[in-house]
């Protein structure tokens, strides 16, 4: 139990996927103009990550033991197609949820954070439960970073900023400062 909690917190804060592994930067820089959108994107991320964790575990246990060199190819294909299926299923079962996640669901598939999650979980040798907890933490971390960033960027819009800094440069510098703030979490678990 202790271990699972540690995996969760570590993925959520200390090794935040966006701010310390630089995964999933494209949506982080691209769609964080608006708080609501950012939050939904985060939710869609958590969701896809959970599916990915299950897929990765299934593949690792049942298939890849016999052909480890196919890991990358099979991961990306299986994850992409599973997400497609799930998308269709959600559309049928719960149109409301489908609308909330919107365009982000298919887009997320090609997000590096998803493949990164599958690869890191494999490298760390996580089982099914650990993988799911890891996915939850990582997804939560991504959501947290997206929402924080969107909040800050909404504020910057009403400020008087020189033209020179506007755009990607500003976002990157803000991200750098956020990342510095997250480094503080590393000290939380120095004893473990």
Partner 1 sequence: MKEKESSMAQEFVKGLWKENPVFVMVLGMCPALAVSNTAINSLAMGSATLFVLFFSSMLVSLLRKIIPQQVRITTYIVIIATFVTLVDFLLAALVPEIHKELGAFIALIVVNCMILGRAEAFAAKNPLRLALADALGMGFGFTFALLCVGAIREILGNGSLFTIPLFGAGFEPWVVMILPPGGFLTLGFMLLFFNWLEQRRKRQLAALSSTPH
> Nearer Cβ to partner 1, position 100 or 106?
106
Compute the least distance from the CB of residue 123 to partner 1, in Å: 6
Which one, 111 or 143, has the nearer CB to partner 1?
111
Taking the complex as a whole, the smallest distance from the CB of residue 190 to partner 1 amounts, in Å, to: 16
Work out how close the CB of 24 gets to partner 1 at its nearest, in angstroms, rounded to a whole number.
7
- Which of 9/97 has CB closer to partner 1? 9
> What would you report as the CA-atom Rg of the chain, rounded to the nearest whole angstrom?
17
Nearer to partner 1, 24 or 140 (CB): 24
The nearer residue to partner 1, 160 or 163, going by C-beta atoms, is 163
Residue linked to tokens 């909690």: 5
Shortest spacing between CB 176 and partner 1, in angstroms:
3
Q: HSE (CB half, 13 Å, CA atoms) of 99?
A: 3
DSSP string for 103-171 = THHHHHTT-HHHHHHHHHHHHTT--HHHHHHHHHHHHHHHHHHHHHHHHHHHHHHTS---GGGTTHHHH
Provide, rounded to whole angstroms, the least separation between the CB of residue 151 and partner 1.
17
Residues that bind partner 1 (CB under 8 A): 19-26, 29, 69-73, 76-77, 80, 110-112, 114-116, 119-120, 123, 163-165, 167-173, 175-177, 179-180, 183
User: What CA–CA distance (Å, rounded) separates 62 from 58?
Assistant: 6
Residues 38 and 113: their CA atoms lie apart, in Å, by 15
């Amino acid at each position: 139990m202790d271990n699972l909690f540690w995996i969760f917190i570590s993925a959520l804060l200390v090794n935040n996927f966006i701010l310390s592994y630089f995964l999933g930067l494209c949506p982080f820089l691209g769609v964080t103009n608006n708080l609501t959108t950012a939050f939904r994107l985060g939710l869609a991320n958590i969701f896809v990550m959970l599916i990915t964790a299950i897929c990765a575990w299934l593949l690792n246990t049942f298939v890849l033991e016999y052909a480890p060199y196919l890991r990358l190819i099979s991961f990306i294909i299986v994850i992409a197609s599973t997400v497609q299926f799930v998308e269709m299923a959600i559309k049928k079962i719960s149109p409301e949820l489908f609308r909330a996640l919107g365009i982000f669901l298919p887009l997320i598939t090609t997000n590096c954070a998803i493949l990164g999650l599958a690869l890191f979980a494999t490298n760390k040798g996580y089982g099914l439960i650990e993988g799911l907890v890891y996915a939850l933490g990582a997804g939560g971390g991504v959501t947290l970073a997206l929402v924080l960033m969107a909040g800050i960027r909404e504020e910057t819009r009403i400020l008087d900023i020189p033209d020179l800094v506007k755009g990607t440069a500003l976002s990157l510098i803000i991200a750098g400062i956020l990342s510095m703030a997250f480094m503080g979490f590393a000290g939380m678990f120095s004893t473990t």
